[in-house]
Amino acid sequence: MVSLLCCGPKMAACGLVLSAWGVIMLVLLGIFFNVHSAVLIEDVPFTEEDFKDGPEKIYHLYEQVSYNCFIAAGLYALLGGFSLCQGRLHRRKEYLVR
């Protein structure tokens, strides 16, 4: 039978902790970018031409960065689910009789 284990229990726990932190941080960043926080203007990729047409273009760039943060949070959630499955497989492996 093929084993589905591909990482150790400590690596699975580390992946779970890091993904939980990544999801929390990126969701909060996505929310702050979505409400056009002025503090995060340095992280928005704009040019001088974007300021000529008014703030609508800058707001659109804020929303693009916000969507990117939400997509990255989703990827971290997938990594957390994978790490959780690996941890459960290790826990189940301890109880199997050899």
8 has pLDDT over 80:
yes
pTM of the model: 0.84
Predicted local confidence at residue 17, as pLDDT: 96
Residue type, 43: D
Domain ranges of the chain: 25-95
Q: What is the pLDDT of residue 92?
A: 78
Q: In whole angstroms, give the CA distance from residue 34 to residue 82.
A: 29
Q: Is 90 exceeded by the pLDDT of residue 95?
A: no
Smallest CA-to-CA distance from 82 within 25, 13, 28 is with 13
Tell me the per-residue pLDDT of 53-82, one tens digit each, with 9 for 90 and over.
888 888 999 999 999 999 999 999 999 999
> What is the rounded distance in angstroms from the CA atom of residue 5 to the CA atom of residue 7?
6
